[in-house]
């Protein structure tokens, strides 16, 4: 073993010396940094004291000036001079007084000011006495009528502290007295008290250059106006050289930028900026205190130098002390190392001898250990093998014991003496006894059945007996149970035959099986008795079971339905749904309901069923088939369809009523417009200098107007608001006439058939309108049969039943004449049928139809108290059934007698005066012009009130009155009644753009002589006028 030599003195001391040197340098550097920060902190504190000292000094000086003002006010000589207004004497007294005060308290000027702010005396400049004093402090004192003080810039640029006080004599203010002191001497006091230099800069914006130069003309160059860019140096406590001036030009822009350096020749100052404000708070100047920190810096550096020398000396002394101590320890360590080296050598020799002896002993131990290890391994293998066998035996026993104990089958062992030697827990529960009761009990006492005992004994003797049978036992509580038993022989101790018995309590199972049989029989009876059809399908779609009701509904024997495909009987949609159910049953966990399914019966009759189907799942959630229920809903669906059809017809009737009301409202205004146009056309046609082209144009315009009037009549026809003059008609005659017209009009490939009633169908109607109905239906039939076909016209007598009346709200009970118009054309789709009777609805191309044909048919039929029903399907043609009430009258209608106008009694036009009443100015204008052309004298009124005013002036002035019904104000009907009250013999002709049949009847009954619909021709108007005048 070799010992490492201890470190030398140099190895120990040199790192220590370097550490001391680094520590000394770090300490000195930290001291220098702390001293520099201390100098800067002292500068901040000193400069902060300047601002506080300045404010204290200003306040103190203001107090001194205020005390002097008090003494001046109390001076009896000055008070007497002020009372006498002896200003010359005041001037003699003020000069010495200011000089005295200036020497003692740096007061530089004294002002005496009158109440009107006129300077009575300025102590230093008496030649300017009489000027107006414009001092802000003076204004404040005048406003407050009390003492005021503050800093202001004088007229010549001096920054001064001024104090103003009212001069009171006998309690009344006689004037004001003001003392002032320049800030320069005050700053000198600041330097004296704090030992710091100061600069005072004034903002040039506060000064007038001419006044300033006048007051500073004898001052040094440093106070010139252009030396600094924005400020003037007003005062300095030190000599300002060019170097300092150049720095003042670049002062920090912010007023409180912090501390910044300023340099002069040989000196460095720390400076800051203090803003000085005047009496109103506005900045007027800047005070720059200058702190010479060179002495402070010099003292601090002396201290640092002394500290550095001290630290170096201490480090050297410490190094020398440590060097001496280390050398002494080094000598001691060398001696101790030598002694230790000798002892280690001796111990090494002893260890080598010990190692040799240990090697010999190790060889012997290793050989013996090897023999013991082999023996130990053999013994461990035998122990492990026996342990594995024992564990397997214990596990097997525990496993079989657990199986037997936890089995749901009772297991018991009976010896050759009928005694129970083993019974598991289920056996105890079966017999209703505890285990300790069963063990050792005699079988004969437990079972109590001689048959069982005999079988046991016979089996013990070697005879063959059934191994499985059922027995009945009685539990101790008297309960009887049914037990299924399986027995077998096993070898017991001594080679004797023992019996092992397996028992299963089947009492509950038999009870459930019985209930299941009863339930199955019950459900089969229910399925056989219900009206709904029940069926079951396999996944191939074949019927595997159905009840009698399904067979009865399909009119197919039940045995013929089994194994037939379900799709043979249902429609395509239902077939597809059940096919999806069969292919992908996993997605259908809820029943599928088909509300309407068409099912074909054996007789080819189609019925409508509601079918619901669901998947049949087994215990393992595997689909086995489909079960379903079919309910015959044919009558319900047909009823719903009839109800829907009835509702649609009701909606159509309401829609047509709404459209009719709209058409009625439009008709009046539209007819008024047509009346004006028609009248102007007639007016132009009466002109004698028209060219032939103009006459043709006017004729075409006349045709267009007539066509528009016809369109309005069509609109009114389905509104049921126009007046229809009806008569008794033979419908067969009109059909034959129209059929003859259609044969000459329709293409030859369309055959027209008629099947007319033998009894003349007499109805109340209007011939032209019935012809229009037949013509419109015939033309529509022609359009529906472009390739040809058959148009059938027939009449018959029909008596409407309750079903027909319920489906058609407009139908009336009683006998009707049914007019049937049918074709073999293309038929109509659902959308066309829904909008068939709507005005302007057409399936024709633009320009080929107006869409009013069927709407007109609907309106005409309704106006004749009839109703229309139609059936149509695509590809099956269309049939219209029109029902008219039968006209029951024993004798023919008596035509009304019409009086022949007495032309002799008719006044000539030149002798006739007409009053024309209408709210349309254009109609009044053109009608008046045309009637004048016919020789009438025409007066006009734009409303009923104006007409009544004219009639009241002269009730017999007008031979006839043409009156519009729909007018603003009191209206036409009210005007009519009022006219007849004034002149019962008045002859009134009603002319209206629209009036219902009821309205027309009311006006005629009220006393109107005739009614004329707009638009009318002037010829028609004059004829009506002659008829009215002749009455």
pLDDT of residue 1023: 84
Please check the confidence at residue 253 and state whether its pLDDT lies above 60: no
Residues 6 or more apart in contact with residue 575 via CB below 8 angstroms: 566, 567
pLDDT of residue 177: 83
Task: For residue 1, name the pLDDT band (cuts at 50, 70, 90).
Answer: very low
Task: For residue 823, name the pLDDT band (cuts at 50, 70, 90).
Answer: very high
Instruction: Flag the least confident range among 63-72, 711-720, 761-770.
Output: 711-720
pLDDT of residue 879: 94
Domains 530-632 and 725-885 share a fold: no
Q: pLDDT of 265-281, one tens digit each? A: 767 777 888 878 776 77
Residues 137/164, Cβ–Cβ less than 8 Å: yes
All structural domains of the chain with their residue ranges:
46-292, 320-396, 407-508, 530-632, 725-885, 909-1030
Query: Buried b vs exposed e over 130-153: b needs ≥16 C-beta within 10 Å?
Result: eeebebebbbbbbeeeeebbbbbb
Q: pLDDT of 207-241, one tens digit each? A: 767 666 666 544 444 456 666 666 777 778 777 77
- Write down the CATH superfamily of domain 46-292: PAS domain (3.30.450.20)
Task: For residue 711, name the pLDDT band (cuts at 50, 70, 90).
Answer: low
Residues 906/1030, Cβ–Cβ less than 8 Å: yes
Task: For residue 767, name the pLDDT band (cuts at 50, 70, 90).
Answer: confident
Rounded to whole angstroms, the Cα distance separating 548 from 603 reads: 18
Rounded to whole angstroms, the Cα distance separating 170 from 985 reads: 113
Distance, CA of 975 to chain centre: 60
- Write down the CATH superfamily of domain 909-1030: Response regulator (3.40.50.2300)
Instruction: Please give the CATH architecture assigned to the domain spanning 530-632.
Output: 2-Layer Sandwich (3.30)
Q: What does the pLDDT average to over 441-461?
A: 77
Q: What does the pLDDT average to over 595-619?
A: 77
Rounded to whole angstroms, the Cα distance separating 993 from 679 reads: 14
Residues 189/199, Cβ–Cβ less than 8 Å: no
Please check the confidence at residue 16 and state whether its pLDDT lies above 80: no
pLDDT of residue 522: 74
Domain 725-885, CATH: 3.30.565.10
Structure tokens at 734: 């009109």
Q: What does the pLDDT average to over 483-487?
A: 87
Please check the confidence at residue 899 and state whether its pLDDT lies above 50: no
Task: For residue 821, name the pLDDT band (cuts at 50, 70, 90).
Answer: very high
Nearest to residue 565, comparing CAs of 586, 551, 579, 549?
A: 579
Neighbours of 940 (CB within 10 A): 19
Structure tokens at 146: 């009390």
Residues 621/584, Cβ–Cβ less than 8 Å: no
Residues 467/447, Cβ–Cβ less than 8 Å: no
Backbone region of residue 841 per phi and psi (left: phi > 0; alpha: psi in -120 to 50; beta: other values): beta
Please check the confidence at residue 916 and state whether its pLDDT lies above 80: yes
Mean pLDDT taken over the chain:
77
Task: For residue 896, name the pLDDT band (cuts at 50, 70, 90).
Answer: very low
pLDDT of residue 3: 47
Rounded to whole angstroms, the Cα distance separating 1027 from 1010 reads: 9
Beta strands in 886-936 (DSSP E): 913-917
Instruction: Flag the least confident range among 215-229, 290-304, 699-713.
Output: 215-229
> Order of strands across the sheet with 480-491?
420-423, 410-414, 497-505, 480-491, 468-474
Task: For residue 128, name the pLDDT band (cuts at 50, 70, 90).
Answer: very low
Q: pLDDT of 787-807, one tens digit each? A: 899 999 999 998 887 777 777
Tokens 């019985």 found at: 514
Q: pLDDT of 570-591, one tens digit each? A: 877 888 878 877 777 767 767 7
Residue 943, φ and ψ in degrees, nearest 5: -160, 175
Rounded to whole angstroms, the Cα distance separating 836 from 855 reads: 8
Strand pairing partners for 663? none
Strand pairing partners for 149? 163
Please check the confidence at residue 256 and state whether its pLDDT lies above 60: no
Q: pLDDT of 329-379, one tens digit each? A: 777 777 777 778 788 888 888 888 888 888 888 888 888 888 888 888 888
Rounded to whole angstroms, the Cα distance separating 152 from 119 reads: 17
Rounded to whole angstroms, the Cα distance separating 60 from 65 reads: 9
Please check the confidence at residue 1006 and state whether its pLDDT lies above 90: no
Task: For residue 882, name the pLDDT band (cuts at 50, 70, 90).
Answer: very high
Structure tokens at 675: 């009346």
Rounded to whole angstroms, the Cα distance separating 742 from 793 reads: 11
Nearest to residue 1003, comparing CAs of 975, 981, 982?
A: 975
Write 66-70 long-range contacts (CB < 8 A, 24+). Answer: 66/147, 66/149, 66/163, 66/165, 68/101, 68/105, 68/107, 68/179, 69/147, 69/163, 69/165, 69/177, 69/179, 70/165
pLDDT of residue 267: 78
Rounded to whole angstroms, the Cα distance separating 697 from 705 reads: 12
Please check the confidence at residue 721 and state whether its pLDDT lies above 50: no
Rounded to whole angstroms, the Cα distance separating 467 from 453 reads: 14
DSSP, res 409: S
Rounded to whole angstroms, the Cα distance separating 950 from 983 reads: 12
pLDDT of residue 818: 92
- Give 578's Cβ-side CA count (13 Å radius): 30
Task: For residue 49, name the pLDDT band (cuts at 50, 70, 90).
Answer: confident
Rounded to whole angstroms, the Cα distance separating 534 from 551 reads: 9
Q: Measure the CA angle with vertex 323, ends 322 and 329; round to 5°.
A: 85
Fold annotation for 407-508: Beta-Lactamase (3.30.450)
Backbone region of residue 440 per phi and psi (left: phi > 0; alpha: psi in -120 to 50; beta: other values): left
Task: For residue 895, name the pLDDT band (cuts at 50, 70, 90).
Answer: very low
Please check the confidence at residue 906 and state whether its pLDDT lies above 50: no
Neighbours of 567 (CB within 10 A): 16
User: Strand 543-546 relative to strand 197-203: parallel, antiparallel, unpaired?
Assistant: unpaired
pTM above 0.75, yes or no: no
pLDDT of residue 181: 78
Backbone region of residue 563 per phi and psi (left: phi > 0; alpha: psi in -120 to 50; beta: other values): left
Nearest to residue 673, comparing CAs of 634, 636, 709?
A: 709
Composition of the chain by helix, strand, coil, percent to 5: 50, 25, 25
Strand pairing partners for 1011? 990
Please check the confidence at residue 255 and state whether its pLDDT lies above 50: no
Taking CA atoms, 150 is separated from 108, 201, 795, in Å, by: 15, 18, 126
pLDDT of residue 515: 81
Instruction: Flag the least confident range among 69-73, 806-810, 904-908, 960-964.
Output: 904-908
Please check the confidence at residue 422 and state whether its pLDDT lies above 70: yes
Rounded to whole angstroms, the Cα distance separating 559 from 517 reads: 23
- Give 834's Cβ-side CA count (13 Å radius): 5
Neighbours of 868 (CB within 10 A): 23
Structure tokens at 481: 């149970």
Give the DSSP per-residue string, 812-853.
-SSEEEEEEEEE-S----HHHHHTTTSTT--SSPTTS--S-H
pLDDT of residue 9: 54
């Amino acid at each position: 073993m070799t010992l490492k030599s201890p470190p030398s003195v140099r190895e120990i001391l040199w790192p220590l010396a370097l550490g001391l040197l680094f520590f000394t340098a770090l300490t000195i550097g930290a001291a220098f940094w702390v001293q520099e920060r201390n100098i800067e902190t002292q500068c901040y504190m000193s400069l902060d004291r300047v601002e506080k000292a300045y404010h204290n000094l200003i306040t103190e000086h203001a107090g001194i000036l205020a005390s002097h003002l008090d003494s001046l006010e109390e001076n009896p000589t000055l008070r007497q001079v002020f009372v006498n207004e002896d200003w010359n004497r005041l001037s003699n007294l003020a000069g010495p007084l200011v000089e005295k005060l200036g020497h003692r308290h740096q007061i530089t000027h004294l002002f005496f000011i009158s109440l009107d702010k006129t300077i009575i005396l300025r102590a230093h400049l008496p030649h300017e006495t009489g000027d107006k004093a414009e001092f802000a402090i003076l204004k404040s004192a005048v406003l407050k009528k009390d003492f005021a003080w503050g800093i202001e810039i004088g007229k010549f640029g001096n920054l001064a502290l001024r104090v103003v006080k009212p001069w009171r004599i006998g309690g009344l203010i006689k004037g004001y007295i003001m003392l002032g002191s320049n800030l320069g001497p005050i700053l000198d006091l600041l330097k004296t008290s704090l030992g710091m230099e100061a600069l005072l800069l004034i903002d040039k914006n506060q000064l007038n250059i001419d006044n300033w130069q006048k007051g500073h003309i004898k001052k040094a160059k440093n106070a010139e106006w252009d030396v600094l860019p924005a400020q003037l140096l007003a005062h300095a406590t030190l000599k300002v050289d060019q170097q300092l001036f150049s720095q003042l030009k670049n002062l920090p822009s912010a007023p409180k930028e912090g501390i910044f350096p300023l340099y002069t020749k040989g000196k460095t100052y720390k400076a800051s900026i203090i803003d000085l404000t005047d009496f109103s708070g506005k900045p007027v100047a800047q005070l720059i205190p200058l702190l010479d920190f060179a002495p402070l810096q010099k003292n601090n550096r002396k201290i640092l130098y002394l500290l550095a020398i001290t630290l170096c000396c201490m480090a050297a002394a410490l190094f020398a002390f440590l060097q001496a101590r280390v050398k002494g320890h080094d000598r001691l360590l060398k001696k101790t190392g030598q002694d230790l080296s000798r002892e280690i050598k001796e111990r090494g020799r002893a260890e080598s001898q010990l190692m040799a002896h240990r090697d010999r002993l190790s060889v012997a131990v290793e050989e013996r250990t090897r023999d013991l290890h082999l023996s130990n391994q053999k013994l461990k293998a035998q122990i492990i093998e026996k342990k594995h066998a024992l564990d397997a035996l214990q596990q097997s026993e525990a496993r079989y014991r657990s199986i037997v104990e936890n089995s749901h089958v009772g297991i018991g062992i009976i010896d050759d003496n009928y005694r129970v030697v083993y019974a598991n827990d289920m056996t105890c529960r079966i017999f209703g006894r505890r285990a300790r009761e069963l063990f050792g009990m005699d079988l004969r006492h437990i079972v109590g059945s001689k048959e069982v005992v005999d079988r046991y004994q016979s089996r013990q003797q070697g005879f063959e007996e059934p191994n499985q049978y059922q027995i009945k036992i009685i539990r101790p509580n008297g309960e009887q149970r049914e037990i299924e038993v399986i027995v077998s022989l096993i070898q017991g101790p001594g080679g004797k035959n023992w019996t092992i018995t397996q028992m299963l309590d089947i009492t509950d199972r038999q009870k459930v099986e019985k209930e299941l049989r009863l339930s199955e029989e019950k459900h089969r009876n229910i399925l056989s008795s219900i009206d709904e059809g029940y069926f079951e399908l396999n996944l191939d779609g074949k019927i595997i079971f159905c009840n009698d009701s399904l067979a009865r509904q399909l009119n197919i024997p039940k045995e013929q339905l089994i194994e037939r495909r379900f799709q043979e009987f249902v429609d395509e949609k239902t077939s597809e749904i059940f096919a999806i159910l069969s292919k992908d049953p996993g997605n259908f966990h809820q029943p599928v309901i088909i509300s309407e399914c068409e099912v074909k019966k054996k007789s080819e009759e189609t019925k409508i069923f509601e079918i619901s189907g669901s998947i049949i799942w087994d215990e393992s959630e595997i689909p086995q088939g489909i079960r379903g229920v079919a309910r015959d809903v044919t009558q319900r669906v047909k009823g719903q369809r009839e109800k829907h059809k009835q509702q649609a017809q009701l909606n159509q009737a309401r829609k047509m009523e709404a459209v009719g009301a709209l058409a009625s409202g439009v008709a009046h205004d539209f007819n008024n417009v047509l009346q004006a146009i028609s009248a102007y056309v007639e007016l132009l046609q009466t002109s004698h200098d028209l060219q032939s082209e103009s006459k043709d144009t006017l004729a075409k315009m006349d045709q267009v107007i007539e066509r528009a009037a016809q369109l309005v009549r069509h609109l009114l026809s389905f509104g049921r608001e126009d007046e229809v003059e009806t008569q008794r008609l033979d419908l067969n005659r009109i059909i034959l006439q129209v059929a003859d017209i259609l044969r000459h009009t329709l293409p030859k490939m369309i055959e027209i058939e008629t099947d007319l009633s033998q009894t003349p169908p007499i109805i109340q109607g209007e011939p032209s309108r019935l012809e229009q109905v037949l013509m419109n239906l015939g033309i529509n039939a022609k359009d529906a049969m472009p390739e040809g076909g058959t148009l059938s016209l027939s009449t018959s007598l029909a008596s409407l039943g309750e079903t027909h009346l319920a489906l058609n709200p407009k139908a009336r009970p009683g006998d009707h004449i049914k007019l049937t118009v049918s074709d073999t054309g293309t038929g109509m789709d659902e959308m066309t049928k829904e909008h068939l009777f709507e005005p302007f609805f057409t399936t024709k191309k633009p320009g080929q139809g107006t869409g009013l044909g069927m709407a007109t048919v609907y309106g005409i039929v309704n106006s004749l108290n009839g109703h229309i029903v139609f059936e149509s399907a695509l590809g099956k043609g269309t049939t219209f059934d029109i029902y008219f009430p039968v006209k029951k009258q024993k004798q023919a209608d008596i035509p009304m007698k019409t009086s022949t106008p007495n032309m002799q009694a008719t006044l000539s036009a030149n002798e006739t005066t007409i009053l024309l009443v209408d709210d349309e100015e254009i109609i009044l204008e053109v009608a008046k012009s045309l009637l004048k052309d016919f020789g009438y004298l025409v007066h006009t009124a734009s409303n009923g009130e104006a007409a009544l005013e004219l009639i009241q002036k002269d009730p017999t002035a007008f031979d006839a009155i043409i009156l519009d019904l729909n007018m603003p104000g009191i209206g036409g009907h009210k005007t009519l009644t009022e006219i007849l009250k004034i002149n019962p013999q008045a002859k009134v002709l009603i002319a209206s753009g629209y009036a219902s049949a009821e309205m027309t009847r009311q006006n005629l009954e009220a006393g109107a002589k005739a009614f004329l619909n707009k638009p009318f021709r002037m010829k028609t108007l004059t004829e009506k006028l002659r008829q009215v005048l002749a009455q």
